[in-house]
Structure 1
Amino acid sequence: MSHCYASPYLKARSGSPHGYDIVDHNALNPEIGDEETFSSWISALRHHGMGQILDIVPNHMGVGGNDNVWWLDVLEHGPASEYAGYFDIDWRPIKEELRGKVLLPLLGDHYGKVLEKGELALAFDLERGEFSLYFYHHRFPIDPNTYPDILGYQVERLADHFSEEEVSFLEYQSLITAFQHLPSRHDTNAEKRVERLRDCAIYKRRLAESCRKYPAIGAFVLDTVAAFNGVAEQPESFDRLHHLLERQAYRLAYWRVAADEINYRRFFDINDLAGLRMENQAVFETTHRFILELVKKGEVDGLRIDHPDGLYDPLRYYQHLNQKITEIKGEDEDKENNFPHKTSKPNYYLVIEKILASYEYLPENWPVCGTSGYEFSSLNNGLFIYPSSQKEFEQLYSRFIGHSWDFDQLLYERKKIIIRVQLSSELTVLANRLNSIAQKDRHTRDFTLNGLREALTEVVACFPVYRTYVARNQVSEEDKRFVQWAVAQAKKRSPAADISILDFIQAILLLETSLRSELSEEIISFVMRFQQYTGPVMAKALEDTALYIYNYLVSLNDVGSDPRNFGVSLSSFHRANQERAQRWPYGMVTSSTHDSKRSEDVRARLNVLSEIPGEWRKRLSRWTRINRSKVRRLNGFRAPSRNDEYLFYQTVLGTWPLLGMSEEGLVDFQGRIEAYMLKAIKEAKVHTSWINPDVEYETAVVHFVRNVLGNLEKNPFLLDFIPFQKRVAGFGLLNGLSQLLLKLTVPGVPDIYQGNELWEFQLVDPDNRHPVDFVLRQRMLQHLMLLTHSKQPLKSHTYELLRTKEDSLVKLYLTWKTLSFRAKFPLLFEKGDYTSLSVQGTKAEHLCAFARRHQDKIVLSITPRWFALLGSNGDGLPLGESLWKGTWVEIPEVNGHKKFTNVLTDEIVTIVQDKGKNYIPANKLFESFSVALLFSLRSF
């Protein structure tokens, strides 16, 4: 292992399970550790010769609550806050009531009801001299300009305690006047802003001192606060508090209002994650100060950029980040020794969380080292799906659920639902901006606001990628192609009589408009905002909706994957690896991440179904008959639906434990499946959802899960299921070993998600974020080290590891041996050429073979696939001459050198020459292990 790849550990919201809701970019998360423990962590890494790659979050921050100082300042001072420009807030929305305010859709019911139930409570901090409103754990500061509304309420009552000339009362009155005369929060003049912020602090201190010095004043203020808070069941008693809130820099609202009216950019549709304006120089400098200090000290060796597609201008951000790192490290930006393939690449390790469509390429002018590896995960997974069964698989799925899905149509419809239900407010902003542009030219002023909104909806719903990257004077051919495609599809689908409005939108998005030059800034701003919008729509519609509906083979339903691509050909696999070797040799290659819908081993197991569609169909028919009595009827409809039942069977098949099941274990497993199925049906948004839950349907699904998995004894379903599951699981483990060796030997930097050194059959979060037993893994590794240093031949141990593969030792062994080999010959994998090897013979399609070569060193990676169709020997393993006879791997010219060593088994493999060709018989590769890694010091 070279580096630990850490999720964010800057200060996040208290109790955060993931660290992506950062509230302070310049402090460590105290729930993880302090500076002393951080130093110990760095020392431990250095002691082991390791570094770390840190995940950072430039796009958004956690807001709400009572812990984000910047956000609280914005709520207190509005546009006059020094942080008002840090967050992506529209201070001048169309709705008049929201001008100069931030809409806060955090309430659990309509504002009036929440107010009159007394759930909004005004409070006064005697120590700090400041007023705030509280809604449970959320704090909303009161604008100091409006303090006189509270301090001056029935002030004559306070006068009764003091004579009119008394200093304390005069001081109190002067404070009321001082707060009244603070510069308005709407005045953003630099001098006035400084004056306001400075004087606010002074006046609050004076108020706190008065309350402490004169108890009668403190008591009066607290009594006034109580009067403002009203009395439940007396609606008129809340009028004062309501009028006070109407004068604040925010407007509290029911959480459901967010979709239509929220005026700050969010991370997708999450209200308590507010978008940052990273294009603002001050924002970049402030949020990266601590990170860059860690980089400067050499305590962080690489950065993974979270959700860069949410940024205003990702390319500019990458360039700026590279520039700052270059400055602090005092190195040239182009460093040929590190990046010989393209000198414009950075000299620091930067990878980005970018999801690429199968027909999309990472722009080569981006100064990054590549992506975090979703595209490889999809590529690698697809290699183990048997493409010839696609039609049969689609038919059995359609028959089971009772109808057919057109995935293109499904995704289009889900995008429109997401636009309408969850991200409508962002579309409204875009439509209003586009309307403003259109009205300023006589050729386009007849386009109506409603027409523009509908046309934008169609374009976004037809967009083929997460986003484009058009910037000022920069429109790539690929971006042009994507926009033109979206507009062409929108024209076909649009019900509008006049589709010239779509031509107008295309011209704007591609900066091809002939509108007056004074509109250029407005057009650029619109285009950049549009590009920030298409990504969340795609993510919510595809990842969080369609992939929970289209269940025909759920191993295809993962981040970065496309269920329309049923399998990957060997030629496509090799071509993608060659391109990565040439363009992005330092990009990550992964197979499981914290965002995976299913872990790599679940997908490897479910891929086996593509090889046995006939048997899968028969099992489904049998299981649905067995479990018919567990299905409920709700208003004439079955619950669970046939589609959800189909998902259930795949889920149980993919996650059933390897080493048997006890009654106690079944209870825990049942709980995991219940939790997953509830999440899945809510995400699908067909029968229930997070926003509008259908409790009856959810209860019926839980009832089904509990009854189907109710017990081990006398369970006809499990009696039929377990033998089938064991057979599929066995082939799945072999798939897992093959995909692991591929990941560890193709071009790129292999990433192993926590715990996946052993077999892991996890589902989407939170299931995949359970604690990892590292002590167990350490003990197993020590066992392997002792085992392989015994006097017995290594191949006897590898055969035994493969035979007992269910105990996970074999996966750990393959990981350890291959990474150890990589560490011994790093340049072979870092800079080595990639050459696909031809396979001939009866089992040729079952083998993926390639060579990595650097100078005088060469390694061959050879992995089988489609094990259910391949067959096995008498031990049930894919080994031996009887299985592989008549299949061979062709080897290029080897300059007379005839022998390779199998790194995994220590076996010597001799090249056979025949009719001027060199080849290795497959039966010599797989005598004692299911994958082969052959090494030679001689060059081709």
Structure 2
Amino acid sequence: MEQTDTLGARIPTATYRLQFNSSFGFQDAARIIPYLHALGISDVYASPCLKARSGSMHGYDIVDHNRLNPELGSRDDFDAYSKELQRHGMGQILDFVPNHMCVEGGENGRWLDLLENGPSSIHGDFFDVDWSPVKKELADKVLIPVLGDQYGSILENSELILSFEEGAFFISYYEHRFPIIPKTYNSILTHRLQELEGLLPADHEAYRELLSIVTAITHLPFYTERNPERVQERYREKEVIKRRLMVLYRDNWPIKEFIDENVRIFNGEKGNPRSFDLLDGLLRQQVYRLAHWRTATDEINYRRFFDINALGAIRMENLRVFEETHRLVLELVREGTVTGLRIDHADGLYDPTDYFRRLQRACFHETRMASISSTAEPCADSFAETILQMYDEMLEVSPQAKPFYIVGEKILMKNERLPEDWPVHGTTGYEFANAVTGLMVDTRNGKEFDAVYARFIQERPNFAEIAYQKKKQVMRFSMGGEINTLGHYLNTLSESNRHTRDFTLGSLNRALVEVIAHFPVYRTYTATRKVADRDRQYIEYAVAKAKRRNPAMSESIFTFIEDVLLLRFHDSTGREEQEQWIDFVMKFQQLTGPVMAKGLEDTAFYVYNRLVCLNEVGGTPERFGMTLEAFHGQNIERARSTPLAMLATSTHDTKRSEDVRARISVLSEDPAAWHDCLIRWNRMNRGRKVSVQGVKVPDRNEEYLLYQTIAGAWPTEVSTAEGHAVFTGRIREYLLKAMREAKVNTSWINPDSVYEEAALHFVDAILRDVPANGFLADLRRTLPPLIRCGMLNSLSQTLLKVASPGIPDFYQGTELWDFSLVDPDNRRPVEFKTRTEMLAALQSVEREKGTLALARELLETMADGRVKLFLAWKSLTFRREHRALFEVGKYLPLEVLGERSDNVCAFERYSDGETVIAVAPRFFTRLGNSPLGTETWGDTRIAVPFEGAGCAYRNVLTGERVMTALREGQTTLPLAAVLGDFPVGLLEAVEPE
């Protein structure tokens, strides 16, 4: 049943994330829609499906926002998939990428146009390029850091190839393709011209045409031309020249031979360095400067997505860019095939608040225009204006008006809230994933776990210090160019005032690095002359910490940076200079997020390995779990502020799947047992380490991470030899990525192949499936209790996700046990046929034997994952049937009394006479052999306020009825009855029989 909020936004009841790629396209998605509907899903939450770079496995490397990705299927395939969704009353939330596009590989037409036409390109302001960069040699040019070696070596190795195609010249570097500026064609066309004169008489028509083309090229406006009329002339004439040249080449054999031979000469002869002078000279005249990929660290002059050279940022703050990139998606919104949007990397935008407002306005316009009848078509334009006026009036009354379902990918740090002026329904749910994992961690054992970790790795790591150092490392080795650009900008601002002009460029750069390294959140959101209180606190904190850590640096430099970031203008600061300060602040804000992401989640999280289930995107690994009170508090706040935000437990970005984290959380319950395993395994495997330059590989911190990873991802069922080999390969790939991300003994930039091979040899050795491998035998004896408790943890977190305030999101495949690690491991194909058959079988058994018998049966075979599928199905279908209860229902934490009170999270959702209670146990190692019944729960009970004795509740998951009873003056539900046959409970208030 479709439901909309008061402004007309279609609200999902539960979403299912699908990862589209060439192996799973629109036809594949259409086939599983009936299964997803039967599971209880209301909306498919689709990865980007717009035209991406060929072979993309994720879709975030967009090359054209206004075409569907042909690798996923045709438009007819997409329409058929959309119709299948609509036939089942389901919606589609599309993942949209507004911050960047892929600029490598030669498939991005806009980028190629920019490389051919430079600053005068009609797309010159589309990409965030600094045409006046710090390096003067790059003025009006773009650095393209794509070469695998130094430019000269690549050139003389004949890896840069000049070609002539369809009247135009190009340079190719493997899969990369770069256009030659038409203005420089004459370097090729006039080379050896005297030899052509010997083949064709001066009055020959083809010869005269060639000279005419050369003359026309001479008169082309240069690529730095900014006069609109001259730019239009250049665009018009260069295409005429290409057509003339193509006709001449095609129709005249001597001209064809002449051009082909010149191309061959320009390409040089390997082994003859001087033969490449012509090509070198031609390349020096281009808009782009091809360079070794390492130069990006210091000299890149286009903004990127993080430090990925292939992803160039676009200027979404430019209205034309917004309109051009949203044409197709808004068309799909108008058609009703896209009913919601997930906005990727909102923090990368110049002004996220303004972007979301424009997006909501555009979506409101499209959905309302869709309601125009055919008879009203002649007045569509005036109707459109009326619609936009309606939205603007709505915005005046409610600045956060949200007429279309939009969620923003936003990582919230500890105690940080989503900006209140964003007109979105919430985030994509990273904070919930961390909260529910933290709830399963026994917070009482933090200090003991610290000691276990420190003893094993033989040092006491400090997470805050690691994060600080890694953020500085990223700024130095990965994003130095961005820091240098920002530092020069700040230096320009300092020069305008006599009190700050003596600050040196070097000192300003160093101070900037220190402030960013201490930033407590991903970014601030200043966009006007008023700085929000929350942002002021973050800036003051960062500057104060930077000052304290650097007593030798002039305090006045830090004060100046704080003044700029807080827009504390001096009396002498003119209007133009004030605008420059604001622009600096907004560019500063675009940089702090990537530094935080790369330094924290992509580096520090692979160094600080105390309990890695806590090392999740948006997590705080230094905080050992989350208390029950804090979890309830987060739910209460979400119910108040963003009740329709997504609730995630696994995503394409998570470092480990929900089931891996649920299992690793169990380790927190018994640090002594974990310590014994570590000591035993280290002793068993000591002889399998290889020495590299006198150091045993892997180091102890990597070994500690490896043991957690193996324990967390170990299959629930006995593997075949082939399955074990696949598992070993996945662990190898994970460890290699983890070591490179950590940047301690190797890295992506400077891989140490000898060290890496030694570490991978260790993985192979300890996982070799032979009788003599005592470690493998020990794993098989030790892990079953951990696996069992991890599965029970996972059931609890699944229930919590479905019942908590927000929209539950299921990442593809996670309705069964899924023990994926970080990408690309979590993008492996999903066996939907198996899942479809399993769900149909569950439904059949329930009809035949009843819910209780099915639930009991599934507990006997938990390893096959059907029990998790059953829980998802029963809870999601109940939620769909009672959607108002979960969407607008109040949230009430329930007190648990008795001897096992700390082992249960319970809360009530109630609305308009409907009530449901969620009961999710935790810390299962304390519950003995079974999580069920009186022997386990004794007198533990849930206090049910506002109810009397004799009230009835039906457990949705078993069909059983439980009655409230009066005990010690309180109305309670006995857990022995609630959890008598199934380890979690979802209790619906019903009338007594």
> Which TM class, normalised by the smaller chain length?
over 0.9
Distance 2:978 2:948 in 1: 21
1:849-888 alignment to 2 at 5 Å? 849-869=906-926, 871-872=927-928, 876-888=929-941
Q: Which moved more, 1:74-83 or 1:718-727?
A: 718-727
Mapped to 1, the partners of 2:980 and 2:722 lie a distance apart of 40
- Structure 1 segments of 4+ aligned residues over 4 angstroms from their partners: 331-335
Q: Distance in 1 between matches of 2:435 and 2:291?
A: 45
| Cα distance in 2 for residues equivalent to 1:169 and 1:699 | 61
Is residue 649 from structure 1 mapped to residue 707 from structure 2 by the alignment? yes
| CA deviation after TM superposition for structure 1 residue 513, in Å | 2.2
Distance in structure 1 (CA, Å) of the matches to 2:240 and 2:365: 39
Shift of 1:915: 4.9
Counterpart amino acid of residue 860 in structure 2: R
| 8 Å contact kept, 1:803–1:877 | no
> Conserved in 2, the CA contact under 8 Å of 1:559 and 1:597?
yes
Q: CA deviation at 1:890?
A: 0.5
Q: How far did 1:938 drift?
A: 7.0
Per-residue CA deviations over 1:917-939 (Å, capped at 9, x if unaligned) read: 21111111111000111111579
CA contact (8 A) 1:897 1:938 kept: no
1:611 and 2:674 matched: no
User: What's the counterpart of residue 812 of structure 2?
Assistant: 754
Q: Is 1:600 matched with 2:658?
A: yes
Shift of 1:780: 0.6
Aligned counterpart for 2:556 among listed residues 500, 524, 543: 500
Displacement of 1:662 after TM fit? 2.6
Aligned residue identity for 2:769: N
SS of the residue corresponding to residue 72 of structure 2 reads: coil
Which one-letter code corresponds to 2:109 in the other structure? V
Q: Give the Cα separation in 1 of the matches to 2:656 and 2:949.
A: 47
Q: Match of 2:118? A: 78
| Match of residue 839 from structure 1 | 896
Number of the residue aligned with 2:681? 623
**SS of residue paired to 2:920:** strand
Distance 1:232 1:916 in 2: 93
Counterpart code for 1:26: N
**For 1:938 and 1:350, how far apart are their aligned partners in 2?**
38
Q: Aligned in 2, Cα 1:120/1:343: closer, same or farther, shift over 3 Å?
A: closer
Of 371, 380, 385, the match for 2:427: 371
Asked if 1:907 is matched to 2:960, the reply is yes
Match of 1:917 in 2: 970
Compute the displacement of 1:158 (Å): 1.2
Q: Counterparts in 2 of 1:481-630, with a 5 A limit?
A: 481-514=537-570, 515-630=573-688
Would you say 1:47 and 2:105 are equivalent positions? no
SS at match of 2:816: coil
**Cα distance, 1:717 vs. partner?**
0.8
The residue type paired with residue 263 of structure 2 is V
**2:393 is the counterpart of 1:344:** no
**Among candidates 355, 362, 368, match of residue 317 of structure 1:** 355
Partner of 1:826: 883
- Equivalent-residue separation in structure 2 for 1:782 and 1:670 (angstroms): 33
Aligned equivalent of 1:226: 264
Other-structure match for 2:26 = none
Deviation of 1:916 (Å): 4.0
- Paired position in structure 2 for 1:676: 734
1:439 aligns with 2:492: no
Aligned equivalents of 1:387 and 1:825: distance in 2?
A: 35
CA contact (8 A) 1:228 1:238 kept: yes
CA contact (8 A) 2:439 2:628 kept: yes
Query: Once the 2 structures are TM-superposed, how far is the Cα of residue 16 of structure 1 from its aligned partner?
Result: 0.4
Q: For residues 832 and 105 of structure 2, what CA distance do their matches in structure 1 show? A: 35
Identify the residue that residue 59 of structure 2 maps to in structure 1. 19
CA contact (8 A) 2:95 2:341 kept: yes
How high is the sequence identity, in percent, across the aligned residues?
A: 47
Q: Aligned equivalents of 1:915 and 1:548: distance in 2? A: 50
* Count of matched residue positions in the alignment of Structure 1 and Structure 2: 929
**Equivalent in 159, 178, 203 of residue 216 of structure 2:** 178
Structure 1 residue corresponding to 2:857, chosen from 800, 811, 820: 800
Q: How does 1:659-674 map to 2 (within 5 A)?
A: 659-674=717-732
Q: Which moved more, 1:207-216 or 1:590-599?
A: 207-216
Q: 1:168 aligns with which of 190, 202, 206?
A: 206
Counterpart Cα distance in 2 of 1:247 and 1:343: 50
Alignment of 1:175-254 (within 5 A): 175-254=213-292
- Would the aligned equivalents of 1:857 and 1:938 in 2 still touch at CA under 8 Å? no
Post-superposition Cα deviations, 1:412-470, rounded to whole Å, max 9, x if no partner, equal 00011100000000001000001001001111101111110000010011111111101
Residues 239-294 of structure 1 deviation map (CA, whole Å, 9 limit, x = unaligned) = 11111111110101011101000000011111111000001111110100000000
Q: Distance in 2 between matches of 1:895 and 1:827?
A: 25
Partner amino acid for 1:65?
G
Q: Secondary structure at the match of 2:246?
A: helix
For 1:889, which of 917, 928, 942 is the aligned residue?
A: 942
CA distance in 2, matches of 1:877, 1:696: 48
1:773-806 Cα shifts (integer Å, max 9, x gaps): 1110011111111111124x53232122123211
For residues 114-193 of structure 1, what are the structure 2 equivalents within 5 Å?
A: 114-125=154-165, 128-193=166-231
Q: Is the 8 A contact 1:11 1:30 kept in 2?
A: yes
User: In structure 2, what residue type is equivalent to 1:193?
Assistant: V
Out of 98, 107, 130, the residue aligned to residue 58 of structure 1 is 98
* Kept in 2: contact 1:796–1:928 (CA 8 A): no
Shift of 1:345: 3.3
- For 2:163, what is the secondary structure of its paired residue? strand
Contact kept, 8 Å, 1:858 with 1:938, in 2: the verdict is no
Superposition deviation, residue 636 in structure 1:
1.9
State how 1:353-392 maps to structure 2 within 5 Å: 353-392=409-448
Counterpart pick for 1:291 among 326, 329, 338: 329
In 1, Cα distance between equivalents of 2:192 and 2:400: 69
Question: Taking structure 1 as reference, are residues 223 and 721 closer, same or farther at Cα in structure 2, changes over 3 Å only?
Answer: same
Within the alignment, does 1:720 sit opposite 2:778 as a pair? yes
C-alpha displacement at 1:330, in angstroms? Answer: 2.2
What residue identity is the alignment partner of 1:921?
P
Q: Which amino acid aligns with 1:570?
A: L
Out of 769, 784, 795, the position equivalent to 1:737 is 795
Counterpart residue identity of residue 645, structure 2: G
Q: Which amino acid aligns with 1:143?
A: I
Post-superposition offset of 1:498 = 1.3
Residue 757 of structure 2 is matched in structure 1 by: 699
CA distance in 1, matches of 2:946, 2:310: 61
- Give 3-state SS (helix, strand or coil) of 1:385's partner: coil
Q: Which amino acid aligns with 1:905?
A: T
CA distance in 2, matches of 1:83, 1:709: 54
Residue in structure 2 matched with residue 931 of structure 1 by the alignment = 984
Determine the C-alpha separation between the residues in 1 that align with 2:721 and 2:278: 60
Residue identity matched to 1:43: K
User: CA offset at residue 582 of structure 1?
Assistant: 1.0
Which AA in structure 1 matches 2:460? S
Partner residue, 1:767? 825
Aligned-pair Cα RMSD in Å? 1.6
Give, in whole Å, the separation in 2 of the partners of 1:897 and 1:3. 39
Query: Could you say which residue in structure 1 is the equivalent of 2:149?
Result: 109
1:342–1:600 distance in 2 versus 1, CA, 3 Å: farther
- The question of whether the paired residues in 2 share the 8 Å contact of 1:345 and 1:369 is answered with no
Q: Which amino acid aligns with 1:571?
A: E
**Structure 1: unaligned runs, 5 residues or longer:** none
Tell whether the 8 Å contact from 2:949 to 2:966 is kept in structure 1 after alignment. no
String of CA shifts for 1:286-336, please: whole Å, max 9, x gaps.
Answer: 10000000001101000000111111110010011111111222287999x
The residue number in structure 1 matching 2:841 is: 783
The farther-off stretch of 497-506 and 731-740 is: 497-506
Encode CA deviations 1:518-577: one digit per residue, 9 max, x unaligned: 202211111111111011111111111111111111111111111012111111111111
Q: Deviations over 1:200-258 (max 9, x none)?
A: 11111111111122221121111111111111111111111111111110101011101
Q: Which amino acid aligns with 2:552?
A: A
CA contact (8 A) 2:951 2:991 kept: no
